[in-house]
Amino acid sequence: MIAARVRPPAPLPPLAGTVEQQGSLADFIWFRTGGPAEWLARPADVADLSRFMAELDPAVPLMPVGVGSNLIVRDGGVPGVVVRLPKSFARVTIEPGNRVRAGAGAMGITVASRARDAGIAGLEFLRGIPGTCGGAVRMNAGAYGRECADVLVEATLALQGGAVETWPAAKLGYTYRHSAVPDGAVVVEALFEGMPGDVAAVGTEMDRIAAEREASQPLRSRTGGSTFKNPPGAKAWALIDAAGCRGLRIGDAQVSEKHCNFLLNLGQASSAQIEELGEEVRRRVLAHSGVRLEWEIQRVGVAGG
């Protein structure tokens, strides 16, 4: 059934999907904290998103959000439009040449599993990335020695103004945890390429990754994944541990005792407390080792609430 066309109050254009004013982000952001989106939009498909972006006042901020697995939403919420892609953007298909085409809403584990079932190796590391393909493309997500730049062939973007373009990986200007995806653009699809592999061997490697994550990371907690980028030649968690930050708390925000590069919401932490805890960790690491940690988690929105 086609969703009814929704026309929210100005300045937003109509959308065939849904638009929610003051839409909750804390309902699905992994930390379960933060204020609402001024407008939370879920487009029906790429054409719907393109039309919406073509008609949207360019002065209105637009930000895509996947599952919020590497995100702090500040307590005052996010001005403008937050785009969350629905299940129609999560299709994954196998193509010739050991290639996997994935909608930006597909989870990394889904892509890795489909590749495994098709006898495609090289994408196993996506099993260890707890976010969507769109987020992985945008931030050049990586784990277990590989990153998105190693396997991405091209990505399709919906750009500010409504144009939909397919960019080769080289145009994305990948560096460590960074890409040249423009602000206000929405990744809608990605094409990955692996290599011929044995189904059982690929499955074994995925199982190893899953077991290692379970053993070393607080996966069942309210967290935001890796908080800080690894500095050149060092591990962020080791610097944090050496600075005496393991278990450090501000209210219900805590540095994980299981993995020091994870921050936790123990229950009632605010986004402000989580962010302040991160800044305190940065101060202590700088004082102890002289290394200035850089945030890996994206922090968005306005303070207060």
Catalytic residues, which ones?
177, 226, 296
266 vs 252: CA distance, rounded Å: 5
User: Are the beta carbons of 266 and 33 closer than 8 angstroms?
Assistant: no
φ/ψ of residue 195, rounded to 5? -145, 160
Enumerate residues 6+ apart whose C-beta is below 8 A from 200.
none
Q: Which tokens in the block code for residue 283?
A: 């101060």
Q: Which tokens in the block code for residue 266?
A: 């123990």
φ/ψ of residue 145, rounded to 5? 85, 0
How many other β-carbons are positioned within 10 Å of the β-carbon of residue 70? 24
| DSSP H or E run through 271 | helix 271-289
Cα end-to-end distance, the chain, whole Å: 38
205 vs 255: CA distance, rounded Å: 29
Q: Is the dihedral of CA 164, 120, 126, 27 positive or negative?
A: positive
